[in-house]
Structure 1
Amino acid sequence: KTVKSAEFRRAADHITRLLIEEAVDLGWIRCQGEIPVTTPTDETVDGVRLPEDGLMAVSIVRAGESMEGPVQEIFPEARIGKILIQRDEETATPHLYYIKLPSCKSSPHVLLLDPMLATGGSCMMAIKSLLDSTDCDIKEEDIIFLNLISCPEGIENLTAAYPKVRIVSGCLDRCLNERSYILPGLGDFGDRYFGTQ
């Protein structure tokens, strides 16, 4: 509760980088082919080349944008898409306001970015928007939802609706309260990260 925004940001960025590496370890990025790589000792080994349309990161605005920097540090070639979904604070119902995705020649691998998974409503609306997109041929099994904190209710809802989407989460909290806030939770992630609380 008393952590300053700069410290919160540093910790969140570090955890996001670890989660991205965990997502890569799932073996979900299909390589285009092997290429010879010469090591500093003049040995040649087989390396891999990512597909041309390889990786797209899509952030659920605004809090998801906090995860874009670490993605681009690890994957500088990653293209970034944006989805604006806002949750009605009274009903917890998500509303889609905006979507902008890079165009693709083939089916990309997608990291869907939102630091918190509460009810799963915003995430499920984002996934539906990705699958319905005419800009790219996105497949459910090529989506990984990356988040820092989740709860059992959100995971249950998301996996029931989209069983092929993989979830990489930094922490599983206890539950949701009657207002659909994660408990014990961390408050408003976007406000804490961007220093607007």
Structure 2
Amino acid sequence: MKSRRDELVDTALRLFYKQGFNATGIDKILSESGVAKMTLYKHFGSKDELILAALTRRDEQFRDWLTNAMETASPDPRAQLLSLFDALEKWFRGQAFKDLGFSGCAFINASGEFTDPDHPAHRIAKQHKQEIVDYLAKLCTKAGATDPETLAEQLALLKEGAIVTAHVRGMPEAARVAKTIATGLLDAALPA
């Protein structure tokens, strides 16, 4: 059974993700979570603290899901890198996260609403994106890339472009387009 804090964070994450951080009021979160205002302020001193907790939860949730999807796709690092785009398409089609569907990237959304690079929500978004790049660089190294950091950045850029295209244009097949481009990058960057 979830704790009241977890219920609050999960509800906040769902609402922030679907409706926006600034557009979602505390009263809506309390109403949907069934948590009392006193409980909210027992765990979080402000809405900003709740936003940070929700983003932290999303970071853990998303990275666990993505790395698991990639690592279980194949034992081969090259195939794992390409499976990134298969996982993305499932997410874009609303098949990856129960009750969340696909409303773009929570971290792109957060950085768009909290544009000051020093804002804690913006910093969490930046850290999340960097950790994904770092993970991709490790896989690129395992796959034998001579310049794994550059290849990881290229794959991450394709990932981000696919996310935005799928969200803004309603085009879940953007993941397949990105995978085709990624295949060419891997063919050029990895040993035969």
Task: Tell me the TM-score normalised to structure 2 length.
Answer: 0.31
The structure whose residues are more often helix, as a share, is 2
The structure whose residues are more often strand, as a share, is 1
Task: Tell me the TM-score normalised to structure 1 length.
Answer: 0.31
